[in-house]
Structure 1
Amino acid sequence: MPSSDFLFIHPLLGADDAWSGFSVEFAPGKTSPDPLRRLKDADKLDEFDHRLPWLIPAIPEASAKSRLDERTVVIFPARPAATDAETLQLFETSLRQANRKIGLSAAPDCKLPATGTWDYLLLSASHARCLPPFALLGLCSRTILVATDIHSHADRQWLLDNACTLATGEFLLSRRAPSTKADTTRIKLLELLALIAEDADTGSLEAIFRQEPKLSYSLLRLVNSAAIAPRTPITSFSQAINLLGRRQLQRWLQLLVYADPNNGNQPNPLLQKAAARGHLLELLAPQLKPQPQVENLADAAFMIGAFSLLNVLLNMSMTEILQQLPLSDLVRSALADHGGVLGRLLLAIEAAEGRDLGNAAQRLCELEVLSSDHLDAQLEAFSWAAKIRPNA
């Protein structure tokens, strides 16, 4: 199985930090149309918001009519390979004649197109920063600007101020300056996570919520989100346990740390990122070779994914966080130094999120994860995480 068969999906953030589209990329190498065809025909696409665009690479062989067509933006490279240039030019012409949405992935050494020439324009943060003043503001009147490779919150803010309405999320992994004021809610939450890791009884868990009302409020917003959509609203911790069961409630408690503690007024994209990571690890874990020797593999894999962003959220080192949580050796090793097969899977997912796609694909191949299974798992994980809207 060539590593270039892997297709990677990246949620795109809007100005409000909500998921506002998806970008699709191949790992480097000679690409096959088959993975893109598989994506465009996937039943799981029906569960995504149909208003959101999907930015997919221009591959003429995968252009047959599909369920994704109305949401598709076909992205062309600024500098195609000489062997592909004529084919891509003909493909672009056919899409323009059919009034299909098309975009260009800009290159720093190429002149920017005139506004309105393309429906979407992708450009890296470093490229955008080098442009003349007001260049992006001039383009945005008839072209949607998509920023990529954003590695700091400062760059993200600059791009927003300069008309880039969609963005990839690499900057989410950069830690902000530490706050001078301790967040008592998250201190309590670390206590709660420790209890969860020890499989504490319901009474011990309820005691934490009685001490910190904001946690209870955030939990109820989370479990009533669209990802669960209970028939009747869940209004108390005890009701949440009765309706969800301890295993499912434990998942939501692991994600609770990422919910906004200030009454849900500020969305936190780390919540959906942690949810997607956790579910993706959970779905891929059964396919790993060698199989991890752990009693509850799915639960351990989800916990690793969900907890893997705690260092970013809490502005603490992972070592410091792990000292406060009584985790199993398998989970601890995966989080501390990417040890074990689950740690290696986490490393592959982190590489993909950082757009180091060749590295990510190679690591998935080494773990004997099939590209088709990886694509299906991504669709399942992102579909589920996209429905978590505690701030709605």
Structure 2
Amino acid sequence: MSIPQNPAPVNLVGLSREEIATLLREMGEKPFRAKQLWHWVYHRGETDFSAMTTLGTPLRTKLAETCVVARPHVVREQRSEDGTRKWLLRFPDGNEAETVYIPEDDRGALCVSSQVGCTLTCRFCHTGTQLLVRNLTAHEIVGQFMAARDAYGEWPSPTDESRQLSNIVLMGMGEPLYNYDNVAKAIGILLDNEGIAVSRRRITLSTSGVVPMIRRCGAELGVNLAVSLHAARDEIRDEIMPINRKYPLAELMAACREYPGASNARRITFEYVMLKGVNDSEADARALIKLVEGVPCKFNLIPFNPWPGSGFECPPIRHIERFANILFEAGYTAPIRMPRGRDILAACGQLRSDSLRERASLHKARLAAGEADDHAPAAAPLADASGAVA
């Protein structure tokens, strides 16, 4: 006869208010306890139930026996000479994703991943060389932000403008609109004024152009929209971004024109990676102006960030400046986003992690070829009693 195993502890990170209320109700607790627990988990960032002193001792004991408040495990942290920080985070199943903090003068943005790998295979993007392994859950998305806040000691949640982690950009690994439900749930948790309390105007979701989901995103989430555009003509975008064959530019621009809340005060951002000899000519700039007519928008011009085997080059800065000037003279804001974190492969388009599945595939291939493998995958790590990954 098999001996029944204790159920895995419930990770409170990633649970909504309603889910926390249900959990406590099933424990026989009063409804007001949910607000208290929410405060400890998401406002104070507390991981030790014994320190949650507004909760009664019996409840704290019960929570410690059945729940955890766990972040992803930091496998590796890298720091760039320009202050950028990149974390490789491992989840309980052994898969990994990268998260990047990009500092500004007195604050900065956290670039959060929504998937392990990516399904889009954009040719200029390093992440696209890692095929999709799986979607990240709400607790894994929120956990990235909480792990970064741990690193900066920003607990309790700052109530003023002093926070360094001031902005969140869903521009990391993966296509957020292909993981909409988990992303939407995570954003709801991040926005809650009694918890992490990030302002809606400080969250930006970036999409490569999943047209059917753009309107839903605007209507339900109301966050800032960034679109990875990168070309003004279908024949070029088809080649460098295969998603364009499914949702061509005319459909994408129609969705942008209809994006709820878009206005001159709240413009859509078009991300545009500058690729030498591909999309950087004066004719491309003028085609871009014609393409976005009628869309309240601005541009981010991104010098291409090289990665091993990419096959693309960055244009000379004078060419990028000429491109920017053409857009500016047409009335558009078009700053050149100077690369951050290139030395640690943390710049735009450079994120990539070796997931457990990918490491296993490489290991099998090397064994079949009779090669020694110094990077064989370990077994999926097990969570210890605190919820941390060993």
TM-score (norm 1): 0.27
The structure with the greater share of residues assigned to strand is: 2
TM-score (norm 2): 0.27
